[in-house]
């Protein structure tokens, strides 16, 4: 049994608030996602911390209802995962210092070992509770932490419920070193809830080789026995030879760490039935949801990253017929992609010297350590307590700490000033970026015309202009230069969604405009029918960096 600093089981689970944000192909969505309304309702997409989402699912009746969980969690690889972002249209170099391609961080995979183990331990405990008695879990990992994750799974599921260690071997000409063998495989750890787990072996049999088929036809002896073949194919082994996604594949989304549909499809076929529920709480590019949708399974997907949610929703809308529809909820209203963007801007504007080897603090500023708390929420006393706890573990650390925040609880600063006077070592200095005039985010500006014909119950929506200051910043180009070299503002826009009866409660996707090719633009002009004469139209514009702008028709 593994031990680490701070190891603790989960004693209780909580029901965190879920806010309905968006629906696709759903007429009467439920305000709260419960098992009872899920049985006949849409598939579920959650944005938020998956620990909170798994807890909410348990409270809302999903305990023991999930037949298959596939997860592709962080590998603790020590890397930032980014996606390449290009403007739509023909690729060309922008003048001056501008770039034709930018990078956007999707998530950071840098962990202290104890933090990583506790993170995975808590979530695996919750997942086991969600699994049915015939359910199973596949955990996708690589050489970084596979040995530790195997020990965690033995503890949570029991050693006797280990089924397979699967090797996914892929051809990939990249990489390599003269000091080791090339790493060309990932590992999937397959555990069951009980010995009665689902395994549809005939659904995943693989074709025989030509040599085996010829031997069978001739009735020849092989290894001391007559070769017999099953018409469905041979038994699958624990080495999956499946190619990675090439740059021209239709399923490619440019989301980092995307896994091929063939890999997940094999798992879904093997370990779920047509009436099963499939769960992936590290959804990423949404491959599990896509595979489950194609195979007619009910599915639940979750991710912390807004870009992951957008990618998954777009894949389902544009490539599949989703008869059950999708209901997208935000849990606890937490959006890590925004926090990453704000932190990047703050680091640059304050001149914080970052240190990739430092696991808790974000870097140094002048002679102080720097901690940047979640910039999407006000600073709390709990944030400060975490800093104090970290300093307690560093008795030789004499530097003060600068805390960069975006607002704080009332009366907080006075308390810290008094405490700093009593404890001159490791003083905590709070700097509120808002009060210091740091503008971290300037929203995009869109000009949209709504031409509504109440008698005919129709509307024409025309997007006249769009500009994103974040795109200008990321591509490192001034507005005047951008206008000179990008002759169509639609180059910034990834897709457009329309709601023909917007109520302000959530966004219902009635029509979507998602160009098939990166070189194509959105149409920019749409004529739609209204469900009733007083209906109000709203348009959601999602740009190439994932920023969402909703423009609502004035009443």
Q: DSSP labels for 405-446?
A: ES-B-TTHHHHHHHHHHH--TT-EEEEETTTTT-------EE
Q: Which residues pair with 303 in a beta bridge?
A: 47
310, 542 in Cβ contact below 8 A? Answer: yes
50, 281 in Cβ contact below 8 A? Answer: yes
- The two most distant CA atoms of the chain are separated, in Å, by 92
From first to last of its 555 residues, what are the pLDDT tens digits of the chain? 899 988 998 888 888 888 899 999 998 899 889 999 998 899 999 998 899 999 999 999 999 999 999 999 987 766 666 667 788 886 555 544 445 555 666 666 567 788 899 999 999 999 999 999 999 999 999 998 999 999 999 999 999 999 999 999 998 766 667 788 888 999 999 999 999 999 999 999 988 888 888 887 777 666 566 667 888 888 999 999 999 888 778 888 888 889 999 999 999 999 999 999 999 999 999 999 999 999 999 999 999 888 899 999 999 988 788 889 999 999 875 555 566 767 877 888 888 998 877 889 999 999 999 999 988 778 888 889 999 999 999 989 999 999 998 887 766 777 788 888 877 788 999 998 888 877 656 789 999 999 999 999 999 999 999 998 888 877 776 667 677 777 889 999 999 999 999 998 899 999 999 998 888 999 999 999 999 999 999 999 999 888 899 999 987
265, 278 in Cβ contact below 8 A? Answer: no
Give the Cα separation of 230 and 172 in Å (integer). Answer: 32
- Predicted structure pTM score: 0.80
* Dihedral, CA of residue 469, residue 473, residue 477 and residue 479, to nearest 10: 10
Beta strand extents in 157-309 (DSSP E only)? 162-169, 185-192, 221-222, 225-226, 239-241, 277-280, 298-303
Find the helix packing angle between 287-294 and 261-271, rounded to 10°.
50
Q: Which residues pair with 45 in a beta bridge?
A: 301, 328
Ramachandran angles phi, psi of 86, nearest 5°: -120, 150
Give the Cα separation of 478 and 99 in Å (integer). Answer: 11
Lookup result for tokens 């000409």: 173
Please state, in angstroms and as integers, the Cα–Cα distance from residue 300 to each residue in 42, 100, 192, 328, following that order.
10, 36, 19, 10
User: Which SS3 state, helix, strand or coil, does residue 114 take?
Assistant: helix
Give the Cα separation of 386 and 402 in Å (integer). Answer: 14
């Amino acid at each position: 049994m593994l031990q680490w600093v701070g190891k603790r089981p989960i004693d209780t689970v909580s029901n965190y608030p879920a806010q309905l944000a968006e629906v696709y192909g759903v007429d009467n969505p439920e305000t709260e996602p419960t098992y009872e309304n899920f049985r006949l309702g849409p598939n579920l997409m959650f944005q938020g911390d998956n620990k909170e989402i798994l807890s909410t699912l348990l409270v809302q009746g999903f305990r023991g209802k999930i037949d298959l969980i596939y997860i592709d969690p962080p590998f603790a690889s020590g890397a930032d995962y980014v996606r390449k972002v290009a403007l739509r249209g023909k690729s060309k170099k922008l003048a001056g210092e501008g770039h034709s391609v930018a990078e956007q961080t999707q998530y950071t995979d840098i962990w202290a070992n104890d933090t990583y183990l506790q993170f995975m331990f808590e979530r695996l405990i919750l997942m086991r509770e969600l699994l049915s008695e015939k359910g199973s879990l596949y955990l996708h990992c690589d050489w970084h932490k596979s040995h530790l994750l195997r020990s965690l799974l033995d503890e949570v599921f029991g050693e006797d419920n280990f089924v397979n260690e699967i090797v996914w071997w892929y051809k990939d000409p990249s990489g390599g070193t003269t000091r080791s063998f090339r790493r060309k495989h990932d590992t999937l750890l397959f555990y069951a809830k009980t010995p009665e787990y689902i395994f549809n072996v005939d659904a995943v049999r693989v074709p025989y080789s030509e040599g085996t088929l010829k031997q069978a036809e001739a009735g020849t002896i092989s290894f001391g026995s007559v070769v017999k073949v099953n018409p469905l194919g041979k038994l699958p082994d624990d080495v999956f030879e499946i190619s990675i996604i090439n740059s021209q594949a239709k399923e490619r989304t440019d989301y980092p760490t995307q896994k091929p549909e063939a890999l997940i499809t094999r798992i879904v076929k093997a370990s779920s039935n047509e009436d099963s529920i499939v769960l992936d709480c590290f959804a990423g590019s949404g491959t599990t949801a896509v595979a489950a949708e194609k195979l007619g399974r009910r599915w639940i997907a979750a991710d912390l990253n807004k870009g992951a949610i957008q990618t998954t929703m777009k894949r389902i809308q544009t490539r599949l017929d989703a008869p059950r529809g999708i209901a997208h909820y935000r849990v606890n209203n937490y959006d890590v992609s925004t926090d990453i963007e704000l932190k990047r801007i703050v680091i640059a504007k304050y001149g914080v010297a970052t240190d990739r080897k430092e696991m808790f603090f974000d870097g140094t500023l002048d002679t102080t350590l720097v901690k940047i708390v979640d910039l999407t929420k006000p600073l709390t006393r709990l944030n400060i307590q975490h800093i104090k706890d970290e300093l307690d573990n560093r008795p030789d650390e004499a530097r003060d700490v600068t805390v960069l925040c975006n607002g704080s609880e009332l009366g907080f600063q006075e308390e810290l000033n008094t405490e700093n006077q009593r404890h001159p070592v490791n003083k905590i200095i709070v700097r509120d970026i808002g009060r210091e005039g740091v503008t971290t985010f300037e929203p995009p500006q869109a000009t949209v015309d709504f031409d509504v014909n109440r008698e005919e119950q129709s509307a024409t929506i025309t997007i006249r202009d769009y500009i994103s200051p974040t795109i200008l910043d990321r591509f490192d180009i001034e507005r005047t230069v951008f206008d000179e070299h990008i002759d169509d503002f639609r180059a910034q826009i990834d897709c457009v969604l329309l709601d023909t009866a917007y109520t302000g409660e959530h966004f219902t996707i009635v029509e979507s405009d998602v160009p098939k090719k990166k070189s194509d633009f959105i149409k920019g002009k749409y004529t739609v029918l209204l469900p009733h004469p007083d209906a109000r139209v709203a348009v959601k514009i999602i740009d190439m960096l994932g920023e969402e702008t909703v423009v609502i028709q004035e009443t």
